[in-house]
Amino acid sequence: MKMNSQEWKKLDIDVRPGIKLRGKWHGKTYLIQRKLGAGAIGVVYLCVCNGKQAALKISDKRSSMTVEVNVLKSLAKVQGNRLGPSLLDVDDWVSPQGICYSFYVMEYLHGEPLISYVQRRGQAWVGVFMLQLLDALQELHQNGWVFGDLKADNLLVVSSPPKVRWVDVGGTTQIGRSIKEYTEFYDRGYWGLGTRKAEASYDLFAFTMVFLHVYYPNQFAKESSPQKQLFRKIDSVKELAPYRMVLKKALVGNYHTSKQMKNDLLKIIYTTERKNMRAHQQHGQQTNSSSLFIDIGGISALAIIYYAVSLLFQ
Rule CB under 8 A: say whether 244 interacts with another protein. no
Q: Which of 178, 286, 291, 314 binds another protein (CB under 8 A)?
A: 178
Rule CB under 8 A: say whether 197 interacts with another protein. yes
Query: Minimum distance between the CB of residue 66 and another protein, rounded to whole angstroms?
Result: 4
Distance (Å) of CA 106 to CA 55, 129, 297: 5, 23, 40
Residues 97-136: x/- map of binding to another protein (CB under 8 A)? ---x-x----------------------------------
Counting every residue written for the chain, the total comes to 314
| Residue 91 is among the residues annotated as catalytic for this protein | no
Query: Minimum distance between the CB of residue 115 and another protein, rounded to whole angstroms?
Result: 22
Rule CB under 8 A: say whether 144 interacts with another protein. no
- Residue by residue, DSSP assigns 179-223 as -S---GGG-TTTTTSS-SB--HHHHHHHHHHHHHHHH-TT-----
Helix, strand, coil share (%) of the chain residues, nearest 5: 45, 20, 35
Catalytic residue (one of 149, 153, 168, 187): 149
Rule CB under 8 A: say whether 22 interacts with another protein. no
Q: Which of 122, 144, 176, 217 binds another protein (CB under 8 A)?
A: 176
Query: Minimum distance between the CB of residue 260 and another protein, rounded to whole angstroms?
Result: 23
Stretch that binds another protein, among 135-143, 152-160, 193-201, 240-248 (CB under 8 A): 193-201
Element (H, E) at 94: strand 87-94
Are 40 and 2 in contact by the 8 Å Cβ rule? The answer is yes
The span from the CA of 25 to the CA of 42, in Å, is 20
- Three-state secondary structure call for residue 39: coil
- Three-state secondary structure call for residue 54: strand
Stretch that binds another protein, among 141-149, 156-164, 195-203, 303-311 (CB under 8 A): 195-203
Stretch that binds another protein, among 157-165, 171-179, 208-216, 272-280 (CB under 8 A): 171-179
Rule CB under 8 A: say whether 190 interacts with another protein. yes
From the number of C-beta atoms within 10 Å of its C-beta (0-12, 13-18, 19+), residue 33 rates as middle
Residue whose CB is less far from another protein, 53 or 66 = 66
Query: Minimum distance between the CB of residue 221 and another protein, rounded to whole angstroms?
Result: 10
Residues 32-71: x/- map of binding to another protein (CB under 8 A)? ------------------------------xx--xx-xx-
Rule CB under 8 A: say whether 296 interacts with another protein. no
Return the ∠ at Cα 96 (arms to 90 and 100), rounded to 5°.
40
Q: Report the amino acid identity of residue 79.
A: Q
Residue whose CB is less far from another protein, 224 or 282 = 224
Chain-centroid distance, C-alpha 87: 18
Q: Give the residue from 269, 270, 232, 263 showing the smallest Cα distance to 248.
A: 232
Site for another protein (CB under 8 A): how many residues? 27
Rule CB under 8 A: say whether 25 interacts with another protein. yes
Query: Minimum distance between the CB of residue 198 and another protein, rounded to whole angstroms?
Result: 8
Q: Which of 90, 136, 164, 250 binds another protein (CB under 8 A)?
A: 90
Sheet of 20-22: strands edge to edge? 20-22, 29-38, 43-49, 52-59, 100-107, 87-94
Phi, psi for 47 (deg, rounded to 5): -140, 170
Q: Which residues bind another protein (CB under 8 A)?
A: 1, 4-5, 25, 62-63, 66-67, 69-70, 73, 90-92, 100, 102, 176-179, 184, 189-190, 195-198
Residues belonging to the active site = 149
